[in-house]
Structure 1
Amino acid sequence: MKFTDYQYTRPNFDAYKKDFLQTLKILKEETHLEKAQGALDHLNELRGQIETAYNLALIRYSINTNDTFYEAEDAYWNEYQPHFQNLDFEFYQALLNSPLLDDLKTIYPKTLFLFAESRVKTFHPDLIPLFQKENQLNSAYSKLVASAQIPFEGEVRTLSQLTPFTQSTDAEMRKKATEQVTAFYAENEAKFDDIYHQMVQVRAQIAKKLGFSNYVAFADVLMNRWDYDRPMIETYRQEILNKIVPLTQKLYERQAKRNQLEHLSFHDLPLVYPNGNATPKGTPEELVESARKMYHELAPETGEFFDFMVENDLLDLLSKKGKQAGGYCTYIQNYASPFIFANFNGTSHDVDVLTHEAGHAFQTYESRWIKEPEIVFPNYESCEIHSMSMEFIAWPWMEQFFKEETNKYKFDHLASALQFLPYGVLVDHFQQEVYENPDWSPEERKACWRKLEKQYCPERDYTLFPALDNGIYWLRQGHIFTSPFYYIDYTLAQVCAFQFWKRFNIDADTNAWSDYLKICQVGGTKTFLEILAIARLRSPFEPGALDDTIKQVENYLDSITETELL
C-alpha cells in the first residue's frame, strides 16, 4: 500500500474514551492473568490507533504547512493530544497498581513499566491547558521557520535551499548566503523570543506544579534517563570541553591552512576544502537507487527494508515551499511502516539522510513485533546509536554516491562528527542554565548562549555577523524549542557510533553486523546500558571510554594526508 493510501481519520475522542475506560476497568480489577493480559493487549491496540492517526497528521502537515486540512488537524492534535495523554496517564497508573503487576512484568518488556513510572511523574490532568499551550507554541515555532521565503540568486528559496550557497568556494557568496540566513532569524528575533519565553514559562509551571525543583529535573525524568543522572551528564560535558574542544580546534586550524586562510571567519567554517566540499553525484532519484543497491548488498534484512520504503513511497525527501525544516523518521503503528522526512539540498547531507534516518527506520522495521507504541523506538540516546552507526556502516558504499570525492566525504564526515560533540553538549548546557533561571529575559538567555558558545565552539568568529555575536544562533536549533533536552543524546550516541565505525571499517569485525542487528531488533525493550551490553559497546560514562574512543578517531584523521583530500 502506498503512503498516499494510508487512511487518516480524526478519532472520535468520546467513543475512544468510552472503549478505553471500559477496558481499563478490567485491567484495574481483574485477578485472572489471561483476562488482564487480554485487556492490556486491547489497550495497546487502542493506543496504537491514536499513534497512527497522530503520526499521519504530523507527517502530512510537516510536508505542507499550507495544507488547510492538515493545518486544522494539527490544531486538533495540539488541543486533544493532552486529553489522550491523560487517558495514557490513567493507563500507566492502572498498570502499576494492577493486582497482577508481578505476573505482567514476566510477560511484557520491563521498559513498559519503567516508562509508566516516568509518565505518572510527569503528567497530571489538571495541567492539560499547559500541555495544550506547549503544543501550540511548538507548532508556532515550526511554522515560523517554514515560512522563510528568501529571494536569493534569482529565486525564492527556503532556509534549507540556501545551504549549498553557504558552502560555496566563492567567499563572497558564502558570506552573502550566511547573511541572508542570519537576517531571517534577526528580522524575526522578537517573534522567536516571544515563542521561547512563553515555552520556558509554560514548562517551568508544569515542572513546579508536579513537584519538581525545576524543569531540568522534570526533563530528565521525561527523557527516561534510567541509567544515568544529571551529575553524570555534567561530568560528561566537562570531559567534552576539556578533551574534545582542543582536538576540534586542531581540525579547524588544519582547515584554515588547507583553504589558505590566516583565520576562519564564521562563514568560512562550512567550506572544508578549497575546491569545494564533497557533493553527491546524481539526481535525488539516482541517490535513492544507489541507496537501494547499497542496502541490498549490506544484508538481506536491509535490502528487504529499503525495498519496502521505496515501493510504498515512505520517503519524502525534496525541499519545497511550505515544508517544515529539518529531517526525521517516525513510525506509523497500524501500518507497521517507518517514514522518512527530509529536505534534500544538493549537499552531502542528502546522503547522510539516506543513512542516518534510514538507521532509525531500519530499527523500527526490525522492531515491528513490539505492540507497545511507546517502546517501538528506544530512548533517544539509544535510538541515535542506530542512526549514527548506520552512517558509518555505509562507508564501504560511499563511492557509489561521491565517486572521486569519496575520500573528501569520509574525512569530513568523521571530522564533523567529532566537531559536533562540543556543540551538542553546548545545547544541553545552555538549556540547563535557561531552565534553572526561568525568569531570565531574552537578552540574558542570548548572553548566556554566547558565553557558553565561546567556551565550546571558540572557532566561531562572528565579527562580520553582529546579530550572531549578540547570541541568536540558537534560534535556528529546533530541538531547543520543540524537543528540550534531547540534544545531549546525539553526543552520547555519537561516542557509541564511533566504536561501530572502528569495528566495521578498521577492525573488519565479523560480529559487528550481528551486534548491530540485535540492537535494532530489541527496539525499546531494553535500557541504554543494556543496549550497549548487547552491542558490546562501552558506555560514554565509563571511565576511560571517551579517551580510548576519541584517540582512535584522532589517529585515523591524523593519518590522512592533505594530498589524499585534494
Structure 2
Amino acid sequence: MEKFSEFCYKRPNYDEVKKQMRARIEELKIADAKLTVTLAEELNLLNSEINSQQIISNIRHSIDITDTFYNEENDYWNEYAPLYEELITDYYRGVLASPHQEVLRTTFPATFFLIAENQLKTFSPAIIELSQTENNLISRYEKILATAEVEFNNEKMPLPKLGPFYQSPDRHVRQAADQVRSHFFASKEIELDEIYDSLVKVRTSMAKELGYPDYVAMGYDMMNRFDYDRNMVESYRKEILSQVVPLTQKLYKRQAERLGLETLYHYDLPIEFSEGNAIPKGTAEEILDKGVTMYQELSPETGEFMSQMMDRQLLDVLSKPGKQSGGYCDFIASYQAPFIFANFNGTSGDIDVLTHEAGHAFQVYQSRWIKEPECVFPTYESCEIHSMSMEFFTWPWMHLFFEEQTEKYYYSHLSDAVEFLPYGVLVDHFQHEVYEHPEMTPQERKTTWRRLERMYCPERDYSHDNFLEKGTYWYRQGHIFASPFYYIDYTLAQVCAFQFWQKAYIEKDPCAWNDYMSICKVGGTKTFLEIINLAKLNSPFEEGSLRKVMETIDGYLSNIKDEVL
C-alpha cells in the first residue's frame, strides 16, 4: 500500500467538477428511485475525492508552511473551498428535495441528512466572499505561529521547542522561557488584534446574511450540535464552576506545597514536582517504537492499526522550523488513511499526543467502511471521546515510556485533565461573550477574557507579566481564531473519558474496551447522545454526572501520597 509521500495530489479542476456535479443534480430532479441512488452515490464519490485532495494539500502545507508549491495550493483552497462548498450544498439540496426519500434514507446514514439540513442553513452563495476572507485571515494567524522563531539560551528555535523549559525545576528558567513566549505574542499584539477583530466582524456578517440573530446560533449549526443548545451548555458551565473548580483549587494548593512555594505564579503551573515532571525516556524514534509495542499488546485491532500507520508513514510528529504548531488527526478517504500531525518537544505531552491523536486515528480506521466523508468522523464532542479515552486505555503501558516515573505520570495526567475542564469552559464562555457582543473593541475582549479567567481559573497569578494580566493569554489558543466554538467539545468528551477510566482502571469492567470499540466502529453515523448511550456512559448534561466522577477522581488522587511522587 502507498506511503503518504506517494499519495497523489492533483488540484481539482473546479469548472469540470462543477459541470459534473450540476449535471447529476439536475438528473436527480427527474430520476426514478434506482437512478436516484446511483446519482447520489456518484455525487458522494465526487465529494469524497475533492475532500481528499484538500486534506492532502492541507497536511503537506502544515508540515512545511514555507513550501512554495503547497503555499500556492493553500491559497487556492482558501479561495475555492467556499466555491466547492456551494456545489456540495447544491448536492445536499438535491438529495433532500428528492421525492425518493425512503430509498435514500436506507442508503445514507441518518446523520448525513442532519448534516445536509444544517449545511443548507449555514451556507449561501451570498457569503462566499466572506468565507474566502475568513480563510485568508486564519492563514495569516497560522503563518505567524508557524514561522515564529524565538531566541532562548543563545539558540533560535520554533515556539513548540520552548515546551521543556516551561517545566524546568529551575524557577528562573521556566520564568525566562515563559517571558520569551510572552514577548513574542506582545510583539504581535496589534496584528493579532486586527486579525481577530476582522474575523469576528466577518463571521457576524455571515450570520446576519443567513438570517441568524448572531454568530453563536450559526456556530452551533456549523458544529452540528444536534442534541444540545446554548442553554444546556450554559447550565453545564455552571456545573463546572460548582463541581470542578473547587477540586482544581485543592490540587493547585497541594502543588504549591509540594514545590515549597508560598505563591504559584502562572509560570509555576506547568511544573508539578520539585524534582521535575515525568519525562518520557528515549528519542522520538524510540518513543514511536514503544508506541507500536503498546498498541500491539492492547488489542489485535490496535496492533493492526498502528502497523499500518508506521508502514505507510502516516505520522509526522517531530517539531521543526516552518512546521505549523499544534497537533491534529485527519482522514484521507481516497486512501482510507488516517494521518497524525504533531510537534514532539520532549515532555510528557509527546505521549499524550501519541495516545490522543492515535485515538482519533484508530476511530476513523475502524469506521473507514463509511462511504460518506462527512460521516467518517462523528461530531467534534464525540470525536474527542475516542481520543481522550484512548489516553486512559493505554495507562497499563505507560511504564514503557516513564519507567520509575510512571506513578508520577498517572497523577499528572489525571490531575491535568481535571484542571483542563475549567479552562476549556473558559474558552467557550469567552467566545459566547465575543460573538454575542461583536461590537466589543479589542481592549474590551481582553478585559472580558481576564474577567472570565479569574472566574474559572483563579489560580492564574500574572503578577510578573503585565501583558498576560491585561487578558491576552487567548492569543495562543488557535481554536479561537481558526475553529470558533470548537472547545467545549473537549470538556464534554473529557467527562465521558473519565467514565471510561473509572470503568476500565478502577472498576476493572471487562466490557469497557468492547464498549469503546463499539463507538469507534459507528463513526459519525450516530449523534453525540446516541454515542454516549451506545458506550453505556452518563451524559455530561445529566444532573449529578459531574459530581459522581469528580468524587471518584478526588479519592484516587488523594490516595497517592506526595512522598511517593
Q: Same fold (TM over 0.5)?
A: yes
CA RMSD of aligned residues (A): 0.7
CA distance in 1, matches of 2:163, 2:375: 35
2:328 equivalent in structure 1: 328
CA distance in 1, matches of 2:29, 2:3: 40
Q: Deviations over 1:259-301 (max 9, x none)?
A: 0001101111110000000010011111111110011101111
Shift of 1:103: 2.4
Unpaired runs of 5+ residues, structure 1, are none
Residue type of the partner of 1:10? R
1:212 equivalent in structure 2: 212
Shift of 1:439: 1.2
CA distance in 2, matches of 1:9, 1:410: 45
2:59 equivalent in structure 1: 59
Shift of 1:28: 3.0
Residue type of the partner of 2:296? H
1:306 equivalent in structure 2: 306
Structure 2 counterpart SS, 1:29: coil
Give the TM-score taking structure 1 as reference length: 0.99
Contact kept? 2:78, 2:135, Cα under 8 Å: yes
CA distance in 1, matches of 2:426, 2:485: 11
Shift of 1:106: 2.4
Structure 1 counterpart SS, 2:9: coil
1:448 equivalent in structure 2: 448
CA distance in 2, matches of 1:294, 1:525: 29
2:136 equivalent in structure 1: 136
Residue type of the partner of 2:155? E
CA distance in 1, matches of 2:254, 2:308: 43
1:15 equivalent in structure 2: 16
Contact kept? 1:359, 1:390, Cα under 8 Å: yes
Residue type of the partner of 1:471? G
Shift of 1:337: 0.1
1:399 equivalent in structure 2: 399
CA distance in 1, matches of 2:553, 2:23: 56
CA distance in 2, matches of 1:37, 1:553: 50
CA distance in 2, matches of 1:103, 1:377: 24
CA distance in 2, matches of 1:102, 1:193: 50
Match runs of 1:184-203 below 5 Å: 184-203=184-203
1:473 equivalent in structure 2: 473
Match runs of 1:118-517 below 5 Å: 118-517=118-517
Unpaired runs of 5+ residues, structure 2, are none
CA distance in 1, matches of 2:397, 2:27: 53
1:94 equivalent in structure 2: 94
Contact kept? 1:384, 1:493, Cα under 8 Å: yes
CA distance in 2, matches of 1:284, 1:25: 53
1:28 equivalent in structure 2: 29
Structure 2 counterpart SS, 1:438: coil
Task: Choose 486-495 or 13-22, whichever is displaced more.
Answer: 13-22
CA distance in 1, matches of 2:34, 2:310: 40
Give the TM-score taking structure 2 as reference length: 0.99
CA distance in 2, matches of 1:28, 1:231: 40
Contact kept? 2:384, 2:493, Cα under 8 Å: yes
Q: Deviations over 1:237-279 (max 9, x none)?
A: 0110122111100000000000000110111111000000001
Contact kept? 2:207, 2:213, Cα under 8 Å: yes
Contact kept? 1:57, 1:73, Cα under 8 Å: yes
Shift of 1:100: 0.5
Residue type of the partner of 2:42? H
Contact kept? 1:79, 1:132, Cα under 8 Å: yes
CA distance in 1, matches of 2:510, 2:23: 51
Shift of 1:153: 0.9
Residue type of the partner of 1:28? K
Shift of 1:168: 0.4
Residue type of the partner of 2:554? E
Shift of 1:165: 0.5
Residue type of the partner of 2:20? D
Residue type of the partner of 2:344? F
Match runs of 1:552-563 below 5 Å: 552-563=552-563
CA distance in 2, matches of 1:28, 1:110: 21
Shift of 1:96: 1.0
Q: Deviations over 1:21-41 (max 9, x none)?
A: 11222323212x221111111
Contact kept? 2:126, 2:209, Cα under 8 Å: no
1:2 equivalent in structure 2: 3
CA distance in 1, matches of 2:280, 2:479: 27
CA distance in 2, matches of 1:16, 1:107: 23
Contact kept? 1:61, 1:70, Cα under 8 Å: yes
CA distance in 2, matches of 1:135, 1:28: 33
| Number of matched pairs | 564
CA distance in 2, matches of 1:517, 1:28: 40
CA distance in 2, matches of 1:313, 1:270: 32
Contact kept? 1:164, 1:346, Cα under 8 Å: yes
Contact kept? 1:297, 1:303, Cα under 8 Å: yes
Q: Deviations over 1:504-536 (max 9, x none)?
A: 111111111111011000000000011011110
CA distance in 1, matches of 2:25, 2:511: 44
